[in-house]
Amino acid sequence: MMQRALFGRGAWLAQQAAVALDGPLGSRSAPLLLRLDRPVSTVSIPPPACMLRPLEAPLRYLFGPGPSNVPPRVLAAGGRPIIGHLHAEMYEIMDDIKKGINYAFQTENNMTIAMSGSGHAAMECAVFNTVEPGESVLVAINGIWGERVAEIAERMGAKVHRMVKTPGGHFTNKEINDAVEKHKPVLFFLTHGESSAGLCHPLDGIGDICRKHNCLFLVDSVASLGAAPIFMDKQNIDILYTGSQKALNAPPGTAPVSFNDRACHKMFNRKTKPVSYLFDMTHLSNYWGCDGKPARIYHHTGPVSGFFALRESLAILAERGLEESWRKHKEVASYLYRGLEDLGLKLFISDKDMRLPSVTTIAIPEGYDWKELLAYMMKHHQIEMTGGLGPSIGMVMRIGLMGYNCEKSNADMALNALADALKTCKKSKV
């Protein structure tokens, strides 16, 4: 009835306007009629043309350091209908995720969650909650991730001490022990899988050093989890975090992190509040049901679809088994190494035992523009590989075969693309 009434009034107005055109006011009424002729808009910014076109995204082979291609099963999980982030079913899914993370980390910690954000979110959460302004922090830097942690700690007021090696270098336990003795940090940071250089750093014995000096041991396993062995409890790692988008094969946007009892004691006996409300573990531990309280109170709206995908990726890892996943990554990486050497390329990490199975680094071939090689493979093969990152820029090219992409057939694709690029791209005469 309302629509018909409106349309009827509109027709009557149009009729009256037509009559007016024949009268003496016709010429003066023309602007008014034009305004009546079209709907009145209250917006001054028109819809952008791009938003009126369908979304398009190319199919690419993501053979870089991450993100990696996501298996159909995980994509399907992420596409399931949304449920409320505080529904009982969502809490059950979050509980499943905690158990899956504990398996992947090899820990029995209660304080295990997944951050709403990338690996950087877990990185900041770990530092913000365990360090207070003015406290000493020791950071091992042999690539970009140590640099990032050092900056994060400095920004929140910590006294940061740096142990620095060139990309690909590693720290001996004696060097670490001496630095911990000297600087007496409350937190020592080390990257397990330094993806900017392709190094998998040894961890045995470092946790013992930290315990001897009453220092928390924080480890970044974003690029290594699922691809290289790591044992949080056995190796006395106090805080461990990773990202969803590498060997776990979920989309970017969630970041598992776990704190043991030593870390929790430091974290929940602070004199000051953490600098971030979003990353405050007092609230996050309740949201994830880790604080023993009967009710979970709203803190933030978690990425529901991202948690669906993360749960599915952890399920795939559990079904395959950690040991099989480690074996597969090592096998495919070794196959790739042989192919790269057959092309005359030099592996950046000379010690085979310290190479990161998920991300292989090669020295930039002499005489070539590495950017041109990468652009050629993207254009002609739809394959992403990357150059260095942070301090390794201009030193290496990086090839990532992890999780779903960890197959010899993908190694062959990468090698064929490299061979074609080396043959086609111009080599400098200098």
pLDDT exceeds 50 at position 20: no
277, 298, 307, 378 from 86: Cα distances, Å: 19, 8, 13, 42
Please name every residue paired with 254 in a beta bridge, in sequence order, or none if there are none.
Answer: 116
Residue 36, pLDDT > 80, answer: no
Quickly state the pLDDT bin for 41 (edges 50, 70, 90): confident
Whether 186 and 127 have beta carbons less than 8 Å apart is answered as no
Asked if residue 47 has pLDDT above 70, the reply is yes
pTM of the model: 0.89
What is the number of other CB atoms lying within 10 angstroms of the CB of residue 425?
18
Q: What is the mean pLDDT of residues 368-372?
A: 96
Helices and strands (H, E) in the chain, number of each type: 14, 14
**Residue 4's pLDDT band (cuts 50, 70, 90):** very low
428: pLDDT confidence band, cut at 50, 70 and 90? confident
pLDDT for 40 equals 82
What does the alpha-carbon distance between residue 418 and residue 410 come to, in Å, rounded to a whole number? 12
How many residues are recorded in the chain?
A: 430
Q: What is the mean pLDDT of residues 239-255?
A: 96
CB of 259 closer than 8 Å to CB of 231: no
pLDDT band of 427, cuts 50, 70, 90: confident
Token couple for 353 = 């035992």
For all residues of the chain together, what is the average pLDDT? 92
pLDDT digits (tens, 9 = 90+) for 60-94: 999 999 999 999 999 999 999 999 999 999 999 99
Q: Residue 5, Cα to own-chain centre: how many angstroms?
A: 56
Provide the token pair at 300: 């933030």
Give the tens place of pLDDT for each residue, 159-208: 999 999 999 999 999 999 999 999 999 999 999 999 999 999 999 999 99
Question: What's the burial of 45, exposed, middle or buried (CB within 10 Å: 0-12/13-18/19+)?
Answer: exposed
Q: What is the mean pLDDT of residues 219-232?
A: 98
Q: Cβ distance 199 to 357 under 8 Å? A: no
Cα 220 to Cα 242: distance, rounded to the nearest angstrom: 6
CA angle, residues 184, 188, 192, in degrees to nearest 5 = 155
pLDDT at 59: 94
Distance of alpha carbon 261 from alpha carbon 112, whole angstroms = 11
CA distance 215 to 226: 27
Q: Could you tell me the pLDDT band of residue 150, with boundaries at 50, 70 and 90?
A: very high
Q: How confident is the model at residue 1 (pLDDT cuts 50, 70, 90)?
A: very low
Listed in sequence order, the residues at least 6 apart from 33 whose beta carbon sits closer than 8 Å to its beta carbon are 17, 20, 21
pLDDT at 185: 98
- Band of residue 13 on the pLDDT scale cut at 50, 70, 90: very low
SS3 108: coil
What was the pLDDT predicted at 15? 53
Mean pLDDT on 417-424: 97
- Share above pLDDT 90 across residues of the chain, in percent, rounded to a whole number: 89
pLDDT of residue 23: 52
CB 273 within 8 A of CB 280: yes
Residue 255, pLDDT above cutoff 70: yes
Q: Quick check: 134 pLDDT over 70?
A: yes
At 259-310, the pLDDT tens digits run 999 999 999 999 999 999 999 999 999 999 999 999 999 999 999 999 999 9
Q: What is the pLDDT averaged over residues 379-398?
A: 97
- pLDDT score for 429: 54
Smallest CA-to-CA distance from 250 within 219, 222, 292, 283 is with 222
In this prediction, residue 7 has a pLDDT band, given cuts at 50, 70 and 90, of very low
Q: pLDDT tier at 141 (50, 70, 90 boundaries)?
A: very high
Distance CA 400, CA 357 (A): 9
Collapsed DSSP state (helix, strand, coil) of residue 150: helix
Question: Residue 156: which residues within 8 A CB-CB, separation 6 or more?
Answer: 127, 128, 131, 133, 275
The percent of residues above 70 in pLDDT, for the chain, comes to: 91
